[in-house]
Amino acid sequence: MEFRSAFPIAVLLGAVLGATAAGGEVRDNAPVSTAAAGIVREASAAVSDATWDIPVVRNAPVERFIGIFTERQQDRMALYLKRSGRYEGMIRAKLRERGMPEDLLYLSMIESGFNPTARSHAQAVGLWQFIEETGQRYGLRVDAYVDERKHPEKSTDAALRYLQDLHGQFGSWYLAAAAYNSGEGRVARVMRQVTGSEKGADDDFWRIRGRLPSETREYVPLMVAAALIGKEPHKYGLGGVQRWMPLESDEVQVPAGTRLALVAEAVGVSEQELKRLNPHLVRAVTPPGKSDYAVRVPRGRTPQYAANFAGVQKRAAEKAVQERRDEQRRLAAMRRHTVRRGESLWTIARRYDTTVKRVQSANGLGSGSRIRPGQRLVIPS
């Protein structure tokens, strides 16, 4: 999943990586601003208030990102904290079910800012920023109708399976996170060069950090900084952020090839609300085929769907039939004329008792378009 994160690029290119591009070296002892340093010192004094299930290292790279998040990127971090309320409970529950550290939640924050439709410069998509090949490898459907990288629950399941595999390979959540960013092959190669083994401990990330690509080098410090702020935002000037409520929903079985607009009409909500609940339906229609497809509707709307959908579907079918008939009548009412030598649009329009503009419009002709002998024209009735 090489260099495909939506969130780190936005922060890093404007901050840490900018120093490298300008010819400067990003050092672990690089200073933070006076204001940020004050916030960091204050937070450090009380960091023990929170409990953790991933290692929390307070060093210069981590504090540098805390400074970025609490100054230049504070509005961005506030938005991500708002969104976290929508998905945090679901992600933590799935991590807990698998016996994984719940604070890996913050890997999703630095991947996408908790935006299920986020797309990176490398065409990685979703809460966990899967590229298409890796998403499909971990069981996500990606085609012209469905992109399950945008499905919050299914993409979370896939991401956690991937992280478990990486942890099994490297023996460390820090190394697994680095491999999630740059690919397991790169981290494995550097680990063998530096330590003689792919498997290691969290401390080994700091040992190999200088040999990793720039984005990956900052990835773990970025995750730790996001976790520190996310768990105790009041210590970093973000205590007033109101988190969004989770999107509570039920699933209904919808026939193949059905527009979400019809489902929305049946359950009495806007099409936009259903799109928000079903971001993975990229065409706002259930995929074609023989099988019904599960569509999310707001919690408690299943009875309305059961009572109303058949009628909505019937009216939509009748409307489509009527529209086809109207179109057939319109086409039948149109006449055809083959242009003869010496004719102009004016003489043709006069012959059929219509106007030049109507003939031009019916044939997609501009005001300066010319006609030629043998050309077939549609004559509006």
Res. 11 pLDDT band, cuts 50 70 90? low
The CATH topology of domain 6-236 is: Lysozyme (1.10.530)
| Residue 210 clears pLDDT 60, i.e. is over it | yes
DSSP H helical ranges for 302-364? 302-333, 345-351, 356-362
Q: What is the pLDDT of residue 332?
A: 75
Quick: pLDDT tens for 113-169.
999 999 998 899 999 999 999 999 999 999 999 999 999 999 999 999 999 999 999
| Residue 1 clears pLDDT 90, i.e. is over it | no
Q: What are the domain boundaries of the chain?
A: 6-236, 249-331, 334-379
CA 325-292-157 angle, to 5 degrees, is 135
The CATH topology of domain 334-379 is: Membrane-bound Lytic Murein Transglycosylase D; Chain A (3.10.350)
Q: What is the pLDDT of residue 362?
A: 87
Mean pLDDT of 68-72: 92
Give Cβ neighbours of residue 8 (< 8 Å, ≥ 6 apart).
110, 111, 181, 215, 218, 219, 222
Q: What is the pLDDT of residue 369?
A: 87
Quick: pLDDT tens for 292-321.
999 999 999 999 999 999 999 999 999 999
Res. 25 pLDDT band, cuts 50 70 90? very low
Res. 335 pLDDT band, cuts 50 70 90? confident
Looking at residue 59, the DSSP 8-state letter turns out to be S
